[in-house]
Structure 1
Amino acid sequence: MSTYRLSSIFRPTSVAVVGSQSRPRSVGRAVINNLLDGGFAGPVALVNLHVQPMPGVITVKRLRDLPWKPDLVVIATPPATVPAVAREAAERGAGAVAVLTVAMGEGPDSPAAQLEAVAREKGLRVLGPNCLGVIAPHVRLNASLASRFPKAGDLALISQSGAISGGLVEWSVGRSVGFSAVVSLGDALDVDFADLLDYFATDHRTRAILLYVEAIRDARKFMSAARAAARTKPVVVVKSGRALALDSAADATHAQHLADSRAIYDAAFRRAGLLQVRSLDELFSAAETLGRLRAFPGRRLAILTNGGGVGALSVDRLRDLGGTVAELSDSTRDRLDAMLPAGWSRTNPVDLVTDIDAERYAGTIEALLDDPANDALLAVNVPTVLSSAVETADAMTQVLRKRAQSPRHKPVFAVWLGHDPAAAEVLDQARIPNYPTESDAVNGFMHLVRYREAQAALMETPPSLPEDFNVDAAAARALVDNALRQGQRWLDPLDTARLLGAYGIPMAPVQHARDAEQAVQLAAPLLAGGQTVVLKILSPDIPHKSEVDGVRLNLGSEAAVREAAQGILQRARAARPQARISGLVVQSTVVRPKARELIAGIADDAVFGPVLVFGRGGTAVDVINDGALALPPLDLRLAHELIARTRVSRVLKAYSDVPAADEGAIALVLMKLAQLAADLPEVRQLDINPLLADASGVIAVDARIAVARGRQLHKGRGHPRFAIFPYPKEWERTLDLADGSHAFVRPVRPEDDAMFREFFTHVTDEDLRLRFFQSVRHFSHEFIARLTQIDYARSMALVALHPEHGHMLGAVRLHADANYDRGEYGILVRSDLKGHGIGWRLMRIMIEYARWLGLKTVEGQVLRDNRTMLAMCEHLGFSIRPDPDDPTLMDVTLPVDHADATGASP
């Protein structure tokens, strides 16, 4: 239900608490005390059968006895009573309930299930159960069990754990950290991470969102909301339960072993554009850095210090975290030579002599900021009796103040060692991030680097229909369907090779021999051609051949083949007497002496679905554990980024007498695997190990594929198991307009920012008012981002473009609720192009999309004086009614099943 009625949780007009007050330590009494101590301005009530009068609080026995409608109801009653209390709250007009009650149970007859049914029937939002409550400092709301009330600020904290949220509130009070809201999800029966990310993404009081995550239930809903939120403001996440074991299933592929839960969450957070940190303390540190500094391109850090040891430690930490120590350009070195006394380091870190004065310190900062060879500056000041920490800090702030509007503005990180409150105050006033240690500062620098890289990845919208290679999906589908009909879990090697071949992934030819003599017959032509032969055991019950010594390489004669075949079969039968042994696989030896052994594959996760795996291959793949993961779909940039996150990527480059491997061919294999996962949801595991790569390309030497029918992981249309909805290229089309001209229609893309800005110059103030219900004069980055950077799982925006010069003619958008029941639309056409039929045809394609998505109704709000839109809605079959809460608005609703999206224009 997304943000529906969430204002009742974070900006309630009134609060009622249902629970006991008789015991001094009762939950009801604690919440009432927090509400009163926090200074909530609206009416507050306590509801209890044995209620006692309390000053400043209305006390009643039943919710229905209240003289006013409770906007938010906090429930702290025994589990069996909660559903009835929630129903009474909804019937009394409440928009939301926060359920603090624990142990609500599971299953169809549990109190939790009954509460969920009430919520769905009544449209009631439920926070919890088993939650700490909610704190909204800007409205003085503390409807929680937290022991302290934090100050108002611009950080929204969403925690799955009540204990963690309460502890972080306590932590923040002593550090002057302020919040726009603090909320614990508890069991998240209704309101979940995605709902709150949607809400805080558009909350003007929230600058950054902090998440404490234990587990995600609905991956697509989470990824959709997280990607949308991260496009507008920083989202920082810390995940507990990271030390998880690898998949220990005996028959799992090597790719599945590499895809442990920790690595999958890392990949999901990275793809969503979230900045992941490893501790609660780092959570706030990252938020503070991102709040004070803009993201910047590059990862080259210049370091300025008057203490050589601190500079060396900074370099060590920077290299540990993957940053780059910037070089000093020759011109900058000459400039500093003329300014600084003899003895300075003449390299990065720039190590000054200890008696440097504030003026020369400032001049050095200016020179380093002018140097194009770096991207950011870390300034470290070590206290000495020969220089003033305050004067040095003030000199630096003067330099930065002058350069604030410079197009070459770079971020600066400060470390003023020692406790000097006056110097810290100077830096704080200038909003320069000031860290206690050089390690913390380098962490802050890398937070910004990683955040920018996450934002770049977020802009990627890989197409669902790739253009740069052809696949035979029908042939692959037939192979999988046949295996499923026969009850096979693993494709046999012949079908495995055929399926990879259908996707253009080269593999060494495979032949099946029933016994040793047939193996000799199949090997004979290969041996006659001067090749050597590889034999492998073939059994659906022996997933890892090396465990039964079931592989022999480089066999150069028929006698060697016969002896090896007999030995492999005997050893396999002895080691696994119950195994079904089908015979042997016969292949020619792949001779690529300078090839690197890689692994590429698909793993399956119960929450996030298919996961792409890449890394170092070979028989020791599980021990080496050099792998990286990515959620599909992929494009080439994302595939190369996946490769770069492994250690083996370093040896793909040229070294010694070994030429560089064809990284483009490796990336193409990963893209093809992503497309295979998109086309064949029944492929649950796929392992190419080894995948040999050298200068001439790639070839799969061995592969395994597991298939199974599985449950749909995600609501709505699209791939039933993908957590990320790909760019829907299939909705690109050409429309015929009323005047005989044409328009090209496609889904909006993140890079359309400039196109939308140009489009708005052709829309009158009056048309903007009719569309956005207010006068719009400034189109901020956040405003445009909400229009262009959408996630296609729940949102669709279609733009109509001139087919020749590409100018934007109009746009229509549809946003579905989380249950895919209703969708809200919006539309805008260039003011100088009205009457050409653009809006009419965009509305029709929007209705067509709503039907494809499975929505029951499309609805919207139209200003009463927008007669053109109301007439169009009437023609399309919308019902039109006055809005009960706003006389200036009309509510329009269309039952999608009964809509005629192909009717003639009016």
Structure 2
Amino acid sequence: MTVRNLKHLFEPKSIALIGASPRPGSVGVTVLKNLLAGGFEGEIMLVNPKYDTLAERPVYASVAKLPAVPDLAVICTPPSTVPGIISDLGKRGTRAAIVLTPGLAAAKDLMGRNMRDLMLKAARPHLLRILGPNSVGMLVPRLGLNASFAHTGALPGKVAFVSQSGAMSTGVLDWAKARNIGFSKFISLGEKADIDVGDVLDYLAGDYDTQAILLYLEAIRDARKFMSAARAAARSKPIIVIKAGRAPEGAKAAASHTGALAGSDDVYDAAIRRAGMLRVYTTLDLFDAVETLAHSRPLRGDRLAIISNGGGPGVLATDALIGKQGRLADLPAQAIEKLGKVLPSCWSHGNPVDILGDAPAQRYIDAMEIVTHEPDVDAALLIHAPNAMVSSEELANALVPAVKNASRNVLSCWLGGEEVARARAVFSNAGIPTYDTPEEAARGFMQIVQYNRNQKLLMEVPASASGSVEEDREAVRAMVKKALSLGRDTLTEPEAKQVLAAYGIPVVRTLAASSIEEAVTCAERIGYPVALKILSPDVVHKSDVGGVVLDLEDADSVRTAAMAMNRRLAGMQPGASLSGFSVQSMVRRPEARELIVGVATDPVFGPVILFGQGGIAVEVTADHAIGLPPLNTVLARDMISRTRVSSLLAAYRNRAAADTDAICRTLIQISHLVIDIPEIMELDINPLLADADGVIALDARIRIRATEKGGMDRLAIRPYPEELEEWVDWQGGKLLLRPIKPEDGQQHVEFFASLTPEDVRMRMFVHMRELSPGQLARMTQIDYDREMAFIATRMRADGTPETLGVARIVFDPDNIQGEFAVTVRSDMKGKGLGRLLMQKLIRHSRERGAHEIVGETLSQNQALLGLVKPLGFSANRSRENDTYLLKLPLKQN
């Protein structure tokens, strides 16, 4: 369940408090006081068999005795009573409850069943939603609703706060009230027995009162649900996250470098980034980020111009900016010349632009107009330190119009206390991001930068993948199955390289030998020089036991090296078994960079992919980035860009740039591999050599484990559902009906351009000439877990694909109802294409268990009405506007 019945929780017309009490210090008395003091205009009913009246209100002995059915129940009774109360509420018709009671999982009945499970079992037949247990409660200030035992109320506002910690909830509530910060919703999730973060995000995504969402996270249970909800909500409003537990959770045994490096906090960070949210690290940052993002415009980059009336503050801002991996904008000669004409001769002649301490408003305005019109400037920061010559408040009033009309984002820092307090208030009231110190301002700017980067990843349409790779999945599955049948949990190095080669990843030629003489034979087959490595299931890192020798030039050197390896292994790891040797050709690529690409399995988010600087010291350098599969070109490039080694991939001195396209292809193919082969738990390619000629894997390690979970089920983000592709006969030829891909962006633009203005109006209800980048992203980057868009596509004579039609459907989070739309290229109408697409859409909706398909169309759209009615849709004319409401019930088998 997700948003079903949550309206009764967040917008109740009546409330029952079960466990109301007069006892000082009890939860029951605190909640009663909060409910009565909040100003809630609906009916408040009290339940407790011990009392007849409380707070001059009648008290009822039980739920059954209530005079009306409450929309929402707030429960603060002992654990043993909660399941029965939930059952009684469900029978009465209540559909939402807040359970404040702690300890339900520990409390058990005579049969050993815990109260938490019994509570959920009692709620299930009635679809009664539960917030908690062990929740502090919830506040909806707009309704005057304070259904919590918090020590203070909340001010009304446009920001929702959702917390997995009760203590954090009350602390933030107190902190925010002292700073006059208001909330649309304030929600303590408690133990999340029913309603979890994903449910609340789904609800808040469509909540008109909420303009931004703040999350305090400690742990996620259902990664797929969380990612789907977060990605959907982040498309419509900013989501800012504090994730607790950043320190490592303790060393874990890992058979690979990747397994050791991919800590849970790194994975959460990757998930937050992938979902288009912004992560911050302090409570202060949390609320600063809300104000900053609420008043910012999209950025093109991270280049900041700083305008200050003093050198010191400008330097402090610069240091903070560089420390956060931001960049000072380079001011070209013409900008320096222009600034020289409006500033005193002793100005700084560079960025930061020091306009001197006596700067009046016009000097700020002139400098700002010049720098914000420079193409290489992405935003400007104005810093003012108070002085006796210029009134800070008058300066602020004079600057507001110019700042609001600026062509770039402009942030401000009013440095000081009481002297600049009014100036700071003038800017804040005008909706201009305002900070107390230069360091805070630089941090605020980088929050905008990072948020825009994450949103770009969420919204950007990637380019088509060049050169599809033939993948021999069956060979890999057979190899893994055989290894598991023999009781092995690790593939040999030659086997691991065969797996990589089967997925199109270049590998150095490698042969396996079971004896020293066989190793010599393998070396002669490959050709000298060769590298020799031990094969042992008991050794994680071969170099740690002297198990790697390079540049062996002849048979004698191979024999000598193999015997020495045998002795070293026996001496350093006496219990280790030696199953043989791997022999590989020596690779001479002097300009290659050593990289690592790997896979680890996170207990929450499933498989994750790692990229970074390779070599034997990867744990020490710790230069890596984590990404969630599935990957595409855009996501792969982002992973590369987040590492320090990325700067070494560019050309420098006499070294040519490495082939980053080849690195991206490797990351994408590893993504395909881990999706296809769910038994892969860990994987290392280390080193992966990369230079101008491409990449090659020198060493590889793969750990496997039998699993009942399929490739799709263990992934946090559902990948492209290839199984839904279908070839059909149409107009004497073959047509492919398949789910849309992000890479279909260009052909979707061409498809939209082929529609007549009237067809666009019938589909969109408005006149549109072209798709915006955001619209294109929403149409091609879909969440296959919650929506579907089938396109009809074929190849042109020149070998390029073209889209002839598309049918899409978006399911509600409860998978009850799906809203559809279908569009066929204007010159392809009347040929049965729309019917083919709709039939596929209906089959898919039935297979996923949806209850009905609905849609809406203009009354003039007789073509669509003629298409869907024979398919079983009803069409009812709306009384509110000139449209028809379409509905198709889906029979459940």
Q: TM above 0.5, one fold?
A: yes
Any conservation in 2 of the 1:814–1:846 contact (CA below 8 Å)?
A: no
CA shift at 1:347, angstroms?
A: 0.5
Using a 3 Å threshold, how does the CA distance of structure 1 residues 312 and 242 change in structure 2: closer, same or farther?
same
Separation (CA, whole Å) in 1 of partners of 2:506 and 2:164: 46
SS in 2 for 1:421: helix
CA shift at 1:548, angstroms?
A: 2.4
117-126 or 235-244, larger mean C-alpha shift: 117-126
Question: 2:843 maps to which residue?
Answer: 848
Question: 2:713 maps to which residue?
Answer: 720
Q: Which structure 2 residues correspond to residues 139-218 of structure 1 after superposition, within 5 A? A: 139-218=143-222
Question: 1:902 maps to which residue?
Answer: none
Question: 1:793 maps to which residue?
Answer: 785
Separation (CA, whole Å) in 1 of partners of 2:493 and 2:682: 14
76-85 or 261-270, larger mean C-alpha shift: 76-85
Any conservation in 1 of the 2:592–2:658 contact (CA below 8 Å)?
A: yes
Using a 3 Å threshold, how does the CA distance of structure 1 residues 51 and 893 change in structure 2: closer, same or farther?
farther
Any conservation in 2 of the 1:9–1:134 contact (CA below 8 Å)?
A: no
Any conservation in 2 of the 1:336–1:367 contact (CA below 8 Å)?
A: yes
646-655 or 338-347, larger mean C-alpha shift: 646-655
Q: Which structure 2 residues correspond to residues 464-543 of structure 1 after superposition, within 5 A? A: 468-524=468-524, 529=527, 531-543=528-540
1:741-764 deviations in whole A, cap 9, x for unaligned?
999775386967998899796379
Question: 1:372 maps to which residue?
Answer: 375
Using a 3 Å threshold, how does the CA distance of structure 1 residues 754 and 124 change in structure 2: closer, same or farther?
farther
476-485 or 730-739, larger mean C-alpha shift: 730-739
* Unpaired runs of at least 5, structure 2: 879-883
Separation (CA, whole Å) in 1 of partners of 2:219 and 2:679: 25
Any conservation in 2 of the 1:514–1:582 contact (CA below 8 Å)?
A: yes
Question: 1:903 maps to which residue?
Answer: none
SS in 2 for 1:237: strand
Q: Which structure 2 residues correspond to residues 681-696 of structure 1 after superposition, within 5 A? A: 681-696=678-693
Separation (CA, whole Å) in 2 of partners of 1:764 and 1:583: 67
685-694 or 476-485, larger mean C-alpha shift: 476-485
Separation (CA, whole Å) in 1 of partners of 2:306 and 2:274: 31
* Residue type at the aligned position of 2:252: S
SS in 1 for 2:46: strand
Separation (CA, whole Å) in 1 of partners of 2:514 and 2:857: 76
SS in 1 for 2:531: strand
Question: 1:5 maps to which residue?
Answer: 5
Separation (CA, whole Å) in 1 of partners of 2:871 and 2:753: 30
* Residue type at the aligned position of 1:562: R
CA shift at 1:802, angstroms?
A: 11
Any conservation in 2 of the 1:743–1:803 contact (CA below 8 Å)?
A: no
Separation (CA, whole Å) in 2 of partners of 1:728 and 1:500: 22
CA shift at 1:487, angstroms?
A: 2.2
CA shift at 1:875, angstroms?
A: 5.3
636-645 or 857-866, larger mean C-alpha shift: 857-866
CA shift at 1:392, angstroms?
A: 1.9
Question: 2:313 maps to which residue?
Answer: 310
Any conservation in 2 of the 1:533–1:554 contact (CA below 8 Å)?
A: yes
* Unpaired runs of at least 5, structure 1: 898-906
744-753 or 76-85, larger mean C-alpha shift: 744-753
- 1:294 paired with 2:297, answer yes
SS in 1 for 2:758: coil
- 1:550 paired with 2:558, answer no
Using a 3 Å threshold, how does the CA distance of structure 1 residues 768 and 56 change in structure 2: closer, same or farther?
farther
* Residue type at the aligned position of 2:785: A
Question: 2:242 maps to which residue?
Answer: 238
Q: Which structure 2 residues correspond to residues 88-487 of structure 1 after superposition, within 5 A? A: 88-105=88-105, 109-245=113-249, 247-249=251-253, 251-401=254-404, 403=405, 409-419=407-417, 420-460=420-460, 468-487=468-487
- 1:50 paired with 2:50, answer yes
Any conservation in 2 of the 1:380–1:438 contact (CA below 8 Å)?
A: yes
CA shift at 1:393, angstroms?
A: 1.4
510-519 or 269-278, larger mean C-alpha shift: 510-519
Question: 2:881 maps to which residue?
Answer: none
**Which of 600, 607, 612 does residue 610 from structure 1 map onto?**
607
* Residue type at the aligned position of 2:64: R
Separation (CA, whole Å) in 1 of partners of 2:642 and 2:601: 20
**How many residue pairs align between the two structures?**
871
Any conservation in 1 of the 2:846–2:890 contact (CA below 8 Å)?
A: no
Separation (CA, whole Å) in 2 of partners of 1:625 and 1:169: 38
1:36-61 deviations in whole A, cap 9, x for unaligned?
11100100011111124124644211
Question: 1:815 maps to which residue?
Answer: 811
SS in 1 for 2:185: strand
SS in 1 for 2:98: strand
Any conservation in 1 of the 2:739–2:788 contact (CA below 8 Å)?
A: no
Q: Given the two structures, how large is their TM-score scaled by the length of structure 2?
A: 0.89
1:714-733 deviations in whole A, cap 9, x for unaligned?
xxxx7122111234466566
SS in 2 for 1:895: coil
Any conservation in 2 of the 1:861–1:892 contact (CA below 8 Å)?
A: no
RMSD: 3.6
CA shift at 1:243, angstroms?
A: 0.6
1:640-692 deviations in whole A, cap 9, x for unaligned?
21111111112222223333222222221111111111211111111111112
CA shift at 1:447, angstroms?
A: 1.0
Any conservation in 2 of the 1:8–1:95 contact (CA below 8 Å)?
A: yes
CA shift at 1:334, angstroms?
A: 1.7
* Residue type at the aligned position of 1:361: Y
Using a 3 Å threshold, how does the CA distance of structure 1 residues 46 and 864 change in structure 2: closer, same or farther?
farther
Any conservation in 2 of the 1:812–1:842 contact (CA below 8 Å)?
A: no
Separation (CA, whole Å) in 2 of partners of 1:592 and 1:782: 43
CA shift at 1:890, angstroms?
A: 9.3
Any conservation in 2 of the 1:490–1:706 contact (CA below 8 Å)?
A: yes
Any conservation in 1 of the 2:157–2:181 contact (CA below 8 Å)?
A: yes
Instruction: State the identity as a percent.
Output: 41
Separation (CA, whole Å) in 1 of partners of 2:751 and 2:175: 45
1:61-107 deviations in whole A, cap 9, x for unaligned?
11121111100111111112111111111111112111111111179
